[in-house]
């Protein structure tokens, strides 16, 4: 018998399926499969809503609120994480991480929402891990009263949780614009949000300004909400145009710098605050790289000294290193200076919107007015229901005996309410209320006391109805709440402002500074000559511009700092290395032009310094015969500022300024009347403030004034010690004939 031939299948038949394969455009696939995921990430995960919270934050806080953690002792974080899973079906690790950022211990927020105990890591450190949830304890901070107020009075919508067993709020009825007080960052699909934090007191003031005047502009708001404020402090380099762009559009960038102090005794720099956008590990890694590349020879060691007292990164300096110059270098090479990029993307009515501060505050006001109206309507309904019951009770007052008779003669319990309704012409609700009154309360006194409430309730209902209907009154109501929040929780700014024109640009590259000895010559007209020793060995003669003369001359070196004072009460800072070397016969650099003085401003004193010793002083002598001694340390700044205002008192014109080191100096003061005194600088009292007017040193009569002042060692007079005075104030001694002639020549 022949075998049956095996049937062969074609490839199409072999791999065929019941459902035929059809062509589909990629755009349709993305729309059907990817878009729902993208929208879920945008709306339900990454972008904050107008109350300032993402869903994860809101679920954690609301769970703690329902657990009764507004009062009482703390509970283990693990309890909160477990309870939150009823609203947030994610792993316990992600829930706990979300909660950590809301705690006081983590230092991520200006106003933390969770009072914590235990190790919660730090915002400024990526390696400092938080402890497990079974070890830490939490409760809600009292500040949360301002985000939950009215939530039990129908202030916001409540929706079912994921398994329809519980209710949770769509938003929290925050009584202040938390969206701008709590910093927030999120990356969604195709968009992102990065909102910096602002000072609560300033935000309250700005919101009140818009409540009073809806036409308030972003520029008007900048006078109240000065700049962002971060929990980590630091310095914000203030550029009004850059910030105005952020205030108007919600997009832009500003720069932040670390705050540091120089410890002279240990010769080290202590960095106490860093930009909010970086971490200590990022900075230290960059420092390690710079040391390995031999680009950071100024530092002998650096270490993380963070402890219970707070943040500290210490840099040990080599001998002779200028701390300010080093920090300028590090600002350019490390994240000690960093940019913060703003992108104010907020969910408003379920849709992402990018807007500036004015737009956000207006949307928050709209949201808050809705919450307040709903809360007031809830109270109004309660009062109306209470009044309705009391009106029914008042009708019994007409015949209490009849009410008792109706109840007594009614045979069936179910007929009591209908009989009362019929007997007093009241509705079922009123009758139920009356029927539930105890027999002991069916007396005239009790009923009269209840009825008295009717008039009070009528007034309260009328007032609430008017408040709900009046937009102006609602705005005043919200403004009053904001003023109270500012009073209770407002804090001074942590992030200090430094104007960009007072900050030297960070140096991206820092060439090695060649330190060599120089002679500094300052003329009376404000020209500075930096002359090298090699040039001094030549036969070049010291010359000045016609009409100009020598003011001061000192030995220095190219690595020192320079400090100058102008006749407008200003102090300017620079470096010796910033000036070009020249010959003794050259004109030199014009200080006023070099340091950008105002057109009518002139240099009156200059000195090179290594640092700012506490016992060294600047002595100012004024036209009215007064003098003051200001500590040199008063001109030391935490940031690298090149200009200081109010350097000395402008109450009387300045005649001269002098430098006092470790030892006192002798000063010669000369009056227009041809009298003089020589006093030791130790007689001049030291002032604690730069703008002190000083003490009378030279007694000058009306019409007389001080016209010259010299160091005794540089005085042109023949015998300046002949005018010595050992007590002040002192009257002048008449100049000798030769000294009078020299005075007249010098004043020409």
- Positions marked catalytic: 135
526 in helix, strand or coil?
coil
- CA distance readout (Å), 264 to 325, 612, 633, 728: 15, 9, 12, 35
Q: What angle do CA 382, 384, 387 make, to 5 degrees?
A: 110
Tokens of 548: 């100009």
Q: What is the DSSP letter of 5?
A: P
Q: 167-169 and 158-160 as β-strands: parallel, antiparallel, unpaired?
A: antiparallel
Cβ neighbours of residue 83 closer than 8 Å, sequence gap 6 or more: 63, 66, 67
- CA distance readout (Å), 495 to 273, 324, 491, 498: 9, 20, 12, 10
8 A C-beta contact, residue 112 and residue 103: yes
Instruction: Kindly tell me the burial class for residue 223, based on how many C-beta atoms sit within 10 Å of its own C-beta (0-12, 13-18, 19 or more).
Output: exposed
Q: 251-257 and 235-238 as β-strands: parallel, antiparallel, unpaired?
A: antiparallel
Rounded Cα–Cα distance for residues 448 and 300 (Å): 87
8 A C-beta contact, residue 269 and residue 263: yes
Tokens of 134: 């079974």
Tell me the residue length of the chain.
Answer: 748
Is the preceding omega at residue 223 within 30 degrees of 0, hence cis? no
Q: Which of 185, 281, 174, 285 is nearest to 230 (CA)?
A: 185
Q: Is the dihedral of CA 433, 438, 444, 449 positive or negative?
A: negative
Region of 526 (left: φ > 0; alpha: ψ -120 to 50; beta: rest) is: left
- Exposure string of 289-328, with b = 16+ CB inside 10 Å and e = fewer, is ebeeeeebebbeebebeeeeeebbbbbbbeeebbbbbbbb
């Amino acid at each position: 018998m022949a075998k049956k031939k095996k049937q062969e299948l074609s490839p199409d038949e072999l791999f065929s399926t019941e459902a035929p394969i059809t062509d589909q455009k990629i755009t349709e696939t993305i729309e059907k499969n990817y878009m729902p995921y993208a929208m879920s990430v945008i709306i339900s995960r990454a972008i904050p809503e107008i109350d300032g919270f993402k869903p994860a934050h809101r679920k954690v806080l609301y769970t703690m609120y329902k657990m009764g953690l507004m009062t009482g002792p703390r509970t283990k974080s693990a309890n909160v994480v477990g309870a939150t899973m009823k609203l947030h079906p994610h792993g316990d690790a992600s829930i706990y991480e979300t909660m950590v950022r809301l705690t006081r211990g983590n230092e991520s927020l200006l106003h933390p929402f969770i009072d914590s105990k235990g190790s919660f890591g730090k915002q400024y450190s990526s390696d400092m891990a938080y402890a497990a949830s079974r070890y830490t304890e939490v409760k809600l901070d009292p500040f949360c009263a301002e985000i939950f107020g009215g939530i039990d009075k129908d202030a916001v919508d409540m929706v079912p949780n994921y398994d329809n067993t519980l209710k949770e709020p769509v938003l929290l009825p925050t009584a202040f614009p938390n969206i701008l007080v709590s910093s927030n960052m999120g990356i969604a699909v195709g968009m992102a949000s990065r909102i910096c934090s602002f000072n609560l007191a300033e935000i309250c003031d700005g919101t009140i300004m818009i409540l009073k005047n809806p036409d308030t502009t972003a520029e008007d708001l900048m006078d109240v909400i000065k700049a962002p404020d971060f929990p980590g402090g630091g310095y914000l380099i203030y550029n009004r145009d850059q910030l105005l762009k952020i205030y108007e559009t919600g997009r832009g960038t500003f720069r932040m710098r670390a705050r540091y102090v120089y410890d002279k005794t240990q010769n080290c720099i202590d960095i106490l605050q860093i930009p909010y956008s970086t971490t200590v590990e990022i900075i230290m890694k960059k420092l390690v790289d710079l040391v390995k590349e031999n680009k950071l020879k100024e530092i002998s060691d650096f270490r993380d000294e963070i402890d219970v007292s707070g943040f500290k990164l210490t840099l040990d300096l080599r001998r002779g290193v200028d701390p300010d110059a080093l920090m300028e270098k590090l600002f350019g090479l490390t994240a000690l200076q960093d940019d913060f990029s703003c992108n104010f993307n907020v969910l408003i009515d379920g849709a992402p919107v990018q807007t500036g501060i004015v737009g956000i505050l207006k949307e928050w006001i709209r949201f808050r007015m809705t919450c307040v109206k709903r809360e007031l309507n809830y109270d109004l309904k309660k009062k109306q229901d209470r009044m309705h019951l009391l009106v029914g009770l008042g009708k019994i007052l007409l015949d209490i005996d009849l009410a008792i008779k109706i109840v007594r003669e009614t045979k069936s319990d179910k007929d009591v309410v209908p009989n009362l309704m019929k007997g007093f012409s009241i509705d079922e609700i009123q009758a139920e209320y009356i029927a539930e009154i105890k027999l002991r309360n069916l007396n005239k006194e009790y009923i009269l006391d209840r009825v008295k409430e009717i008039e009070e309730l009528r007034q309260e209902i009328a007032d609430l109805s008017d408040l709900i209907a009046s937009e102006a009154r609602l705005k005043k109501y919200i403004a009053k709440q904001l003023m109270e929040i500012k009073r209770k929780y407002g804090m001074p700014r942590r992030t200090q402002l430094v104007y960009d024109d007072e900050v030297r640009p960070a140096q991206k590259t820092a060439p090695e500074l060649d330190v060599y000895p120089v002679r500094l010559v300052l003329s009376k007209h404000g020209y500075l000559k930096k002359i090298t020793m090699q040039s001094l060995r030549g036969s070049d003669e010291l010359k000045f511009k016609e009409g100009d003369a020598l003011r001061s001359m000192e030995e220095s070196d190219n690595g020192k700092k320079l400090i100058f004072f102008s006749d407008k009460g200003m102090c300017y800072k620079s470096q010796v290395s910033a000036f070009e070397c020249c010959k003794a016969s050259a004109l030199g650099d014009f200080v006023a032009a070099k340091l950008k003085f105002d057109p009518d401003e002139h240099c009156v004193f200059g000195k090179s310094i290594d640092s700012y010793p506490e016992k060294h002083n600047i002595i100012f002598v004024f036209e009215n015969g007064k003098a003051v001694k200001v500590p040199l340390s008063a001109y030391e700044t935490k940031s690298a500022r090149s200009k200081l205002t109010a350097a000395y008192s402008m109450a009387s014109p300045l005649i001269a300024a002098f430098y006092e080191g470790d030892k006192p100096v002798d000063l010669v003061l000369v009056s227009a009347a041809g009298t003089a005194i020589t006093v030791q600088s130790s007689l001049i009292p030291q002032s604690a403030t730069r703008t002190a007017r000083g003490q009378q040193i030279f007694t000058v009569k009306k019409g007389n004034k001080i016209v010259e002042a010299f160091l005794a060692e540089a005085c042109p007079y023949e015998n300046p010690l002949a005018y010595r005075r050992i007590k002040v104030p002192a009257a002048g001694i008449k100049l000798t004939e030769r000294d009078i002639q020299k005075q007249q020549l010098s004043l020409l």
